[in-house]
Chains A and B, each alone.
Chain A
């Protein structure tokens, strides 16, 4: 027996209150096994005791809770000092689980019971569901645990990616790299070597792996299980806490083969192992699996394995070979075994309650029948199952490769460009053939990428000359009958027996996919790795069809469990946009609001006071998030004329206009301010959320119509701030030499000039309904300008205001917000923007739809409203919670509230709502709010400064 991997310290962990010592490098399960633990889990449905079986992270038999994380495959999870390991799905303990009562009640729990029982009477279902949830299943998620956020992503690019570092994979890597390709080798285990690592010849193999890792063009990545193969040769793998996304020009899948369980009664007893599990336990972790072993096999490797066991000092009390003759290619003398060797042997039953104690064995006749009187019982504490391998080909299937069963083996039936398979994954038997195939596929991959490969023809010849031995046909793989009963499990994860499968087929679920769904076989944690092929074979046998006609179930990612935190690693890159004044706001007590990707100050603590400041003296708001777009060129006016609702071509330099645009369907898309900066140069703003969309919309139509204009997205380039209030002009005068008088710079208009030494674009507009200047400057000077204005405004009680104050101010002024007061069905005619639409223009976006709408009867319109009487004690909730409430007409919903605030200026609740077009002006309408109907009066817009005197001051 080889020593466990050398390590500095021996970690110890706790398991159910016991302290378990572990050798360095051991897995949790190996340490537990060495400490005498034999029952590792209780099964999903029947709560039968289960022990180690595959020891390679495939089967469900070792799932435990480790440090609060459920369903950890403890057979491969490294033991670390201080871990807390707990069992799951048992009560009160693994060794004594009362829920095993279901094993004896199995008659009442046939296949599909979950779909059939408990549904009548209907009211009982919730009760049953609650109970079933608690007694069946896997581990529990610890919702109190803090979510992990320390995951990361890494994108890798390589010429050739090889998945699986076994004999074939290592050969492929070397061959491709020697030809000049860059190679990435992904291995799910901590070391290269594949199944050869699990046997005695690991020494030369480790040296080979180390040598490979020093190759200048090979990058080896261990502990990196691949969970999916996606379109475009994208490979998803998890590497510790890191998500790897690998793009490879060529992929070679070398994931090896898997032994599958033999079907026999009580085939789930602890003490029954796959032979590779026994190998891994002893060679990787230094733990012998038992003392007295029975080996059950149908191939040469099983015989070799029996020799191996003897060499380790484990007594092989019997070698049971399903084939007609025992021994290596029939040559090995039987006498080498101290115990018995039985050809055409059948294990009729495993005997034991919580651990295997014996097997009942018989020699079959050449026709498969047997004489029950010849049955004998052989005592043992270990039954090793060494079956012919089936390909671990799930990734290949995900890539589009199909497999056919021929001469006892599953082989690829088609080629997939850029993806190939070598070794066990391609159904190639063990031995030199796998290495040769690996070399060939490596060379082919390099050659496909244009690297000169001299040995290609030679390798191909060698491969073609190699005889591909057929597997020996050992007859029926169904569970032997007449051995005295006991459940025979096809699917260990979901506790599905061969009788369940038979029953499901008898009920008509005889296709492999419906059979899987109905019986739930292969839908558990192993996802069919253990049972998939067995199911196909059983289904073929029971339905008397060809295996290839039955087919296999579909393999989908993730092939191995991946934590959602790892998959979500690149979601951490969710971008945040900050205005150039972000840190000023932060330092001045801003309460943040997420506006798309932007962070905006909602207020600096008191929105009502901010509103008052704007109405009585002056306020300053950061509007850098607005979309800012330059349209330059001879066709600029034409482009805007055709996109927007109103005219652009008659806009002279210095003039601005409120502008809006529609989709082809006449739906309001966005609004903003547009101005003319000079000949063939226009500047428009878009709302914060639509900035990118408007830019792309303009750019798309410019290109489509082949107009000679350039659309420049200046959103990031300019900081913008709106100085508004009765004292705005006085404040600004101190900072600029521009003539700000209403005669020289009227409402609405656009000027360019220096403010506080910074070159700016100034727009005299009035979103908030006061004398105001929106000032745009290069973003690098935003901080300077903002501070200069605040400094100049000190004598006038200038106050910064946030988005909430702006919302109140604009509502008082009756300005709508596209996307809040309108939706995907709102057109400008109904929304009260009919004055914008210039039907006299020959063509513009949405014209046809709007003309039709104009001819139709208007169904709804957007109106302003006020609450004449506020219910005693206020609304009982912030007024904005009324947004979205229904407008009720004759007891039925007839519209909705889109905006609602308390106006500190008007001292009443005001809002915007969609109401039926026929609604009379002077009759109050009703809003259903928190279960009561509140009366609202329609008010002509705007609520505040109806004549617009303040704007034009």
Chain B
């Protein structure tokens, strides 16, 4: 057996990024696009139109079962029954309560809650590679999503810290209105194998809205604004 170093993971859009001039950087064992042009111009595009970042490499852990309410309460004591709670600081994460018995934790790494600490009747499933994630940021976000989904994406219906399972570009999708940046922002999760289809539809539909792909560095600039 030839022992290789720990192999690098690729997002489902890896080849798309490469074909569009991305330079890559390694983050937590993943190859992710650092940027396509300059971080500043990407951030400007997002501030004026819409930026779209591939965040498929970020951790997604699904907790299911009758013990989920107790677990959610323990992780975020002030969380609502359903919706999103933003944990800040060291272990930043978005806790998405999809149903009473389903909690999806979106974090930067795939590090799960240690098995002993999830409590009774909770099944932890790492869905990092099941779902591709896109981070849409910018003032024209709603305009773009209106062309992709019949779901009412206005803030009145999907407020900050709200989430919804719906259809986007003909594909099942989870929308999370994110509080992480001071601009309108939406995280979109679709099946891994649908990633390129949805990504391309978003870019195509948003052409006149000034949509531009956003690398890690550009994304960091936007996050810093907060």
Chain A interface SS verdict (over half): mixed
Residues from chain A with a CB closer than 8 A to the CB of B6 are: 757
Partner of A573, one of B5, B9, B201: B201
Set of chain B residues within 8 Å of A152, measured between Cβ atoms: 147, 205
Q: Say whether A838 faces chain B, with CB atoms less than 8 Å apart.
A: no
Which of B2, B157, B201 neighbours the largest number of chain A CB atoms within 10 Å of its CB?
B2
Contacts of B192 in A (CB 8 A): 580, 716-717, 779
Bound Cα distance A779, B6 (Å): 15
Determine if B123 and A780 form an interchain contact, defined as CB atoms under 8 angstroms apart: no
Interface string of B127-157 (1 = CB under 8 A from A): 1111100000000000000111111101011
Contacts of A779 in B (CB 8 A): 12, 129-130, 192-193
Chain A min CB distance to B153 (Å) = 8
Q: Give Cα distance in the complex from A632 to B6, angstroms.
A: 29
Cβ–Cβ contact B146 & A156, under 8 A: yes
Interfacial chain B residues near A553, Cβ < 8 Å: none
Contact A734 B2 (CB under 8 A): yes
* With contact pairs A779-B192, A780-B129 given, residues A737 and B64 touching in the complex (Cβ less than 8 Å): no
User: Is there contact, CB below 8 Å, between A577 and B197?
Assistant: yes
- Which residues from chain B contact A817 at a C-beta distance below 8 Å? none
B170 near A575 (CB under 8 angstroms)? yes
Question: B30-56 toward A: CB 8 Å interface, digit per residue (1/0)?
Answer: 100000000000000000000000001
- CB pair A583–B15 under 8 Å, yes or no, is yes
The reply to whether A784 and B8 form a contact with Cβ atoms under 8 Å apart is yes
The residue on A at minimum CB distance from B125 is A712
Pair B149/A155 contact, Cβ less than 8 Å? yes
User: Among B12, B64, B171, which residue has its beta carbon within 8 angstroms of that of A575?
Assistant: B171
Q: Is B191 an interface residue (CB 8 A)?
A: yes
In the bound complex, do residue A577 and residue B169 qualify as a contact, i.e. CB atoms below 8 Å apart? Answer: no
Residues of B near A757 (CB, < 8 A) are: 3-7
Give every chain A residue within 8 A of B81 (Cβ-Cβ): none
In angstroms, Cα B201 to Cα A894, docked, is 49
CA distance A572 to B148 in the complex (A): 10
**A307 CB → nearest B CB, Å:** 47
CB-CB < 8 A to B130: which residues of A?
713-714, 716-717, 779
Most buried by A among B1, B11, B127, B147: B1
Decide if B119 is an interface residue (CB 8 Å cutoff).
Answer: no
With contacts defined as CB atoms under 8 Å apart, how many contacts are there between chain A and chain B in the complex?
Answer: 122
Q: Is A247 an interface residue (CB 8 A)?
A: yes
> What residues of chain A lie closer than 8 Å to B156, measured between beta carbons?
182
Q: With an 8 A cutoff between CB atoms, is B196 at the interface?
A: yes
State the CA gap A783–B18 with chains docked (Å): 14
Task: Let me know if B8 and A247 touch, CB within 8 A.
Answer: no
**A245 CA to B132 CA in the complex, in Å?**
28
Does B65 touch A at the CB level, under 8 Å? yes
Question: Knowing A580-B10, A780-B129 touch, does A574 contact B146 (C-beta < 8 A)?
Answer: no
Report the separation of the CA atoms of residues A822 and B57 in the bound assembly, to the nearest whole angstrom. 41
Q: How far, in angstroms, from A912 to B30 measured CA to CA in the complex? A: 47
Residues of A within 8 A of B146 (CB): 154-156
Contact B170 A781 (CB under 8 A): no
The answer to whether A756 touches B169, judged by C-beta atoms less than 8 angstroms apart, is: no
Question: A575-B169, A630-B125, A784-B10 given. 14 additional CB < 8 A pairs?
Answer: A575-B170, A716-B191, A716-B192, A716-B193, A718-B129, A733-B1, A757-B4, A757-B6, A758-B7, A778-B9, A779-B193, A781-B9, A784-B7, A792-B2
A→B interface (CB under 8 Å) = 152-157, 182, 245, 247, 570, 572-580, 582-583, 598, 624, 630, 632-633, 710, 712-718, 733-737, 756-758, 778-781, 783-785, 788, 792
Query: What are 19 A-to-B residue pairs whose CB atoms are below 8 Å?
Result: A153-B147, A156-B146, A245-B150, A570-B170, A573-B170, A575-B197, A577-B194, A583-B14, A598-B193, A632-B123, A633-B123, A710-B65, A717-B129, A717-B192, A718-B129, A779-B129, A780-B128, A781-B10, A784-B10
The 3 closest A-B pairs by CB, nearest first: A573-B170, A717-B130, A780-B9
